[in-house]
Amino acid sequence: MNRRFFLASVAATGLVRPARAESFEVTLTDAEWRARLTPAQYAVLRQEDTERAGSSPLDGEQRSGTFACAGCDLPLFSADHKYDSGTGWPSFWQPLPGAVGTRPDPGLFGSRTEVHCRRCGGHLGHVFDDGPDPTGKRYCMNGAAMAFRAA
């Protein structure tokens, strides 16, 4: 097995993702992102990591308010659209208008749809088609990617 074949095989699994072609309003250097974010926020928002299920206090957050991007403070989700999915991650049936972008996220066990902040491109989580009415969507978000602003 040569190096080129090995790298192509790993890329095909989705474990290594190609560089993003999109451009975003908020663009910082890697050093600036590291200075702005906690290690957990950086891992999720900039390296597309996933926090451990049940580890975020935002999963149990029940007050009225807004969930904003921890990277650029863009309002993402209304607390009115949050529900308990039983997954261990904050879940919503709908984002705020124009708040998020999506893209295919191929992986070893099939393809998912990745959700990111439309302003800074920070990775938020994934959206699935097993949510409640009225949308049938489950926006399964990493709490480390967001900050809660009480009403």
pLDDT band at 108 (very low <50, low <70, confident <90, very high): confident
Which domain does 136 fall in, by range? 3-150
Higher pLDDT, 128 or 13: 128
The domain spanning residue 49 has which CATH number?
Answer: 2.170.150.20
| List 69, 72, 117, 140, catalytic entry | 140
HEC secondary structure over 3-35 = HHHHHHHHHHHCCCCCCCCCCCCCCCCHHHHHH
Catalytic (active site) residue 140 = yes
pLDDT of 13 over the 80 cut:
no
**87 confidence band (pLDDT: 50, 70, 90):** very high
- List 106's β-bridge partners, or say none: 111
Q: How many domains does the chain have?
A: 1
Residue 107 has pLDDT above 70, yes or no: yes
Per-residue pLDDT at 130 exceeds 80: yes
pLDDT digits (tens, 9 = 90+) for 45-57: 999 999 999 999 9
Distances from the Cα of 18 to the Cα of 10, 106, 139, angstroms: 11, 11, 23
